[in-house]
Amino acid sequence: MMPEIHKILTELVDYAIDRVYEQLEDPGSSAKISGYTIRAIANAAEQIKAQQRERVGKLEGALGGLLAIVNDSNGVDGYHLNGDIATWDEFEEEIEIAEAALKKPEATDE
């Protein structure tokens, strides 16, 4: 589920950036939208895209680290507050979501 959301958001951002660059190719690229030049909007879009890539990279690193802990241990001590260890199979759905989020989207022929 998460990789699909990431793919959709990435496609939307890419589409928006493409439309802005189409405007830049126009001779009147000094045109303004809401008081901002098309070039300023394009620069801001590129900065947002770079920030998005950085955040995704950090989240992937954090999830990878958590999954490494899962692979190297038996569970969480203290989770149940009764002395029992919560084994990782109790968190199966959360682990599957984390693993799915780290999978790279498959290439499509679109």
For 21, left (φ over 0), alpha (ψ -120 to 50), or beta? alpha
- pLDDT of amino acid 2: 53
Q: Where are the domains of the chain?
A: 2-102
- pLDDT of amino acid 1: 44
Average pLDDT, integer, range 85-104: 91
Tracing tokens 């793919």 back to the chain, one arrives at 7
- pLDDT of amino acid 85: 94
27, 34, 104 from 58: Cα distances, Å: 39, 33, 15
Tens-place pLDDT, residues 22-77 = 766 665 556 666 677 777 777 888 888 889 889 888 999 999 999 999 999 999 99
Does position 80 have pLDDT exceeding 80, yes or no?
A: yes
